Amino acid sequence: MTAIEKIIIKNIKSNGSLSLEEYLTIVLYHQKYGYYSKKNIIGKSGDFITSPEISQVFGELIASWIIFNSSNFFKNKFNFLELGPGRAVLIQDILRTIKSLNNKLYNNIENIYFLEKSIEFKNYQKNIKKSKIISDIEEVEHKEFFALANEFFDAIPVNQYVKMGKFWYEKRVCLNKKNRLSFNLSNYPTKKNLPFPLTDKEGFVFEYSTYTHLLLSDIFKRISSHGGVFLIIDYAKNKNFNNSTLSCIYKHTHVSPFFAPGLTDISIKPDFNFIKSLALQYNCKVIGPLTQSSFLTKLGIELRFEQLIKSNPTLSFSLQSSKKRLINKEYMGEIFKVLIITNKKYKDLIFDNDYD
């Protein structure tokens, strides 16, 4: 039994049950024993690897998109915001590329904000020039900004609600007769006023995070009022999928969400349709969703890797492998989607009217 499991069992015995969101918050973000308090969970030697950890080209192409469109925005001082930057690899690749190709644009970056919970990751972020590590979006100055979230929303704890008859019941974390962690539905329908989908499908699972809803609303409000761009890259829930998207990985193997709490990578697939509809409510422009493959291919990933291979022929196999992981269907090319949310005044952007 892990240290986190002991904490959770004690909590349940005191309170009767935990919401899924409460459970995930403890197992992922407990300061001492939570999953994200561990060292070296990201990278080639870690539990999982993100796109910027695979290749610098990922960040270079995002920087290229910003530069190509900079005639539409960021003509004056602006702020940069990254949600959940991890080891800050992506931001460093982006900043290096912008500084190299458009020094004026680079100098227009006034502040770089990192929204981060993990103490371990903050150690990587604190030495980035112009950076400010924040715990709340309210700490970000109200002005034009570029926001980036790469594999951020998949790590935000959610609650789950199950449609039974005409009502929604909350999924709770309880103890079974063997004193082991298990799921149970609430005894009574939820009275929470949430944006439940209109469906009669029995057993439909609705995943919702109040934190995500409020954070997105704040960002979209700022984009509409002050100008800005928000680039989201993440796993995306299939719009026709109506079951739990909870994914639990331990040593590269799928396991139960109650297996080795605190040692297991638990994530969900964000609902891009919900994000898109919310952005439209705030009168923002939405581009996408696009597949990561489409996004990177249109920005010239093939040409960039050709250049790298030509300059480093001995690394040809490794570089080809990295490219495949980023854009091939069997790897990250299609399961990762891209949403771009901007102020409506920004015209003729790359990917305008594109979607997959």
Residue 355: inside a domain: no
Quick one: 108 and 172 in the same domain?
A: no
Quick one: 93 and 224 in the same domain?
A: yes
Residue 52: inside a domain: yes
pLDDT tens-place string over residues 81-134: 999 998 899 999 999 999 999 999 999 999 999 999 888 888 888 888 899 999
Tell me if the pTM is above 0.75.
yes
Quick one: 68 and 147 in the same domain?
A: yes
pLDDT tens-place string over residues 130-150: 999 999 999 999 999 999 999
- Per-residue pLDDT band at 37 (split at 50, 70, 90): confident
Quick one: 62 and 150 in the same domain?
A: yes
Residue 356 confidence (pLDDT) above 50: no
Residue 356: inside a domain: no
Quick one: 8 and 150 in the same domain?
A: no
For tokens 């290229």, name the residue: 64
Domain extent, residue 338, equals 36-156+213-236+271-350
Mean pLDDT in residue range 206-210: 96
Residue 354 confidence (pLDDT) above 60: no
Mean pLDDT in residue range 337-348: 92
Residue 180: inside a domain: yes
Quick one: 50 and 147 in the same domain?
A: yes
The kind and range of the H/E element at 99 are helix 89-101
Domain count within the chain:
2
Instruction: Tell me if 205 sits within 8 A of 242, measured CB to CB.
Output: yes
Residue 116: inside a domain: yes
Residue 297: inside a domain: yes
Residue 302: inside a domain: yes
Mean pLDDT in residue range 309-331: 91
Residues 79-118: b if buried by 16+ CB within 10 A, e if exposed: bbbbbbbbbbbbbbbbbebbeeebeebbebbebbbbbbbb
For residue 166, the 8-state DSSP code is: T
CA atoms of 296 and 334, how far apart (whole Å): 11
Quick one: 172 and 310 in the same domain?
A: no
Residue 55, burial from CB neighbour count under 10 angstroms (0-12, 13-18, 19+): buried
For 118, the 3-state DSSP assignment is: coil
Quick one: 18 and 40 in the same domain?
A: no
Percent of the chain topping pLDDT 90: 73
Quick one: 166 and 26 in the same domain?
A: yes
Residue 129: inside a domain: yes
CA atoms of 70 and 106, how far apart (whole Å): 11
The amino acid sitting at 139 is E
Quick one: 110 and 171 in the same domain?
A: no
For 241, the 3-state DSSP assignment is: coil
Q: Which of 254, 269, 284 is the last residue of a domain?
A: 269
Quick one: 51 and 171 in the same domain?
A: no
Quick one: 62 and 151 in the same domain?
A: yes
Q: What is the mean pLDDT of the chain?
A: 91
Give the alpha-carbon dihedral of 191, 221, 89, 332, to 10 degrees: 60
Task: Pick the range with the lowest mean pLDDT from 98-112, 185-199, 231-245, 274-288.
Answer: 231-245
